[in-house]
Amino acid sequence: MSTVTLAGRVVEVDTEGFLLDPHRWDEQIAQEIAREAGIPELTDRHWQVVHFMRQTYLDTGSAPSIRTLGKASGVPIKELYELFPHGPAKLAAKIGGIPKPRGCI
């Protein structure tokens, strides 16, 4: 647990860089986390996924599975892996300011 400055705001993050308080998030922070993760610019498709993940977490208390993400976000699995290389569920959650998803699916 430590504090970092993202987009000019001081926020608390866990050891992997996930925001500890989802409500401290804003879109500028999302852009900065994305840049640090190797995505220079978030496109509309990226945002579609990020918003879906964040909203599902805020509505239900947990992030969607990769299966649900592929079916209900409007972005299919193939494209998810193109938009977010190395694990879309984890990366989209981090960019969306929600905790790291803990699931096997």
Partner 1 sequence: MSDTSDTSDTIEKVSIIISKGSLEGVYPGLIMANGARMEGIEANLFFTFFGLDAINKAKHDHVKVATVGNPGLHLATWAGGVPGVSALVTRQLAHEMERLDIPPIPEFVEMIADSGAGLYACKASVDLFKLSAEDFIPQVKDVITVGEFYGLAAGGQIIFT
Binding site for partner 1 (CB under 8 A): 65-68, 70, 76-78, 81, 85-90, 104-105
CB of 38 to partner 1, least distance (A): 11
Q: Which is nearer to partner 1, 8 or 59 (CB)?
A: 59
Q: Which is nearer to partner 1, 48 or 68 (CB)?
A: 68
Using CA atoms, how far apart are residues 53 and 2, in angstroms rounded to an integer?
Answer: 24
Helices (H) and strands (E) in the chain, counts: 5, 2
Determine the residue type at 24: R
How big is the CA angle at 83 (ends 79 and 89), to the nearest 5 degrees?
90
- Is-catalytic flag, 53? no
Q: How far is the CB of 84 from partner 1 (least distance, A)?
A: 9
Pick the closer one to partner 1 by CB: 47 or 81.
81
Angle at 88 between CA 22 and CA 101, to 5 degrees: 45
Catalytic center residues: 104
